[in-house]
């Protein structure tokens, strides 16, 4: 009887609802491959760009006059930031170090369930940015876990930041967009 009720033009399906020639994924399981490689490639790229830019600006620009890139709208001006974004929380450097390390661990654990390329890109940017600033906190003066982050991109009327900060903000912004569109890290889409 079920075969007779099939809608004309739809493929025959088995009891699990899979079309001919396809295998049904177990309930709740996304299709496709995990995107761990994409996550780590994006993270590595973000990290290396941040690290390379910081090494360059410390070697070439620290202790010098700011360089105007686009008139007064954008300058490169090296500062050491012991706090969080916008220089807040200078007394809590060790806490920011712990938060960055926690973010890295959470992203690494989430990678096991990652099937969405867009989420891999977003989380890769977060991971690379967190690693970039964590590297500063561990290896730069005044000491281990108390290091000041190197910031050098100085737009007019805005805080000075670095490429790691940019990667974190862009990754966070992408996560918000993906969440609003209903795309989960496992590649499923929901309509909440």
List residues with catalytic annotation. Answer: 151, 165
Sheet bearing 149-155, strands edge to edge: 67-70, 74-81, 149-155
Question: From CA 154, how far away is CA 152, in angstroms rounded?
Answer: 6
User: 117-139 and 163-180 are packed helices; what angle lies between their axes, rounded to 10 degrees?
Assistant: 150
Q: For 64, list phi and psi in degrees, rounded to 5.
A: -115, 170
Q: For 137, list phi and psi in degrees, rounded to 5.
A: -65, -30
Structure tokens at 114: 């990652």
Residue 91 is given by DSSP the state G
Q: Would you say 93 and 158 are in contact if contact means Cβ atoms under 8 Å apart?
A: no
Q: Which residues contact 5 (CB under 8 A, 6 or more apart)?
A: none
């Amino acid at each position: 009887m079920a075969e007779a009720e099939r809608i004309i033009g739809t493929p025959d399906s088995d009891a699990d609802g899979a079309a001919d020639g396809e295998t049904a994924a177990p309930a709740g399981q996304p299709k496709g491959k995990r995107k761990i490689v994409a996550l780590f490639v994006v993270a590595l790229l973000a990290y290396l760009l941040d690290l390379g830019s910081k090494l360059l600006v410390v070697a070439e620009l620290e202790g010098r006059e700011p360089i105007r890139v686009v008139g007064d709208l954008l300058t490169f001006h090296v500062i050491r930031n012991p706090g969080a974004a916008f220089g807040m929380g200078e007394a809590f450097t060790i806490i920011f170090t712990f938060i960055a390390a926690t973010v890295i661990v959470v992203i690494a654990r989430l990678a096991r369930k990652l099937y969405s390329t867009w989420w891999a890109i977003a989380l890769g940017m977060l991971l690379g940015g967190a690693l970039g600033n964590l590297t500063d906190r561990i290896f730069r003066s005044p000491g281990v876990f108390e290091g000041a982050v190197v910031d050098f991109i100085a737009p007019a009327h805005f805080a000075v930041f670095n490429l790691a900060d940019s990667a974190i903000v862009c990754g966070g912004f992408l996560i918000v967009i993906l969440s609003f569109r209903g795309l989960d890290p496992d590649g499923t889409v929901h309509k909440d």
